[in-house]
Amino acid sequence: MVEVLQQRPGQHVWQLLLPGLSLAAENSSEPVVLVGAPFQPFGPSLRAQGFSPERLVCIQADRPSARLWAAEQALRCAEVTAVMAWLPHAKAQELRRLHMAAQKQSRLLFVFRGWDARHQASPAVLRLLVEGVDTLQLSILKRRGPPLLNPLALPARGQRLAALLDARKALVSNLASPPASPSDRRSHVLDRTASIA
Domain regions of the chain by residue span? 2-157
What are the average pLDDT values for consecutive 10-residue runs of the chain, which has 197 residues?
87 79 80 92 84 92 94 93 93 94 92 89 90 80 82 68 68 68 51 49
**Class level of CATH domain 2-157:** alpha beta
How far apart CA 45 and CA 36 sit, in angstroms, is 20
Q: Is 151 exposed, middle or buried (0-12, 13-18, 19+ CB in 10 A)?
A: middle
How far apart CA 142 and CA 148 sit, in angstroms, is 9
CB 77 within 8 A of CB 27: no
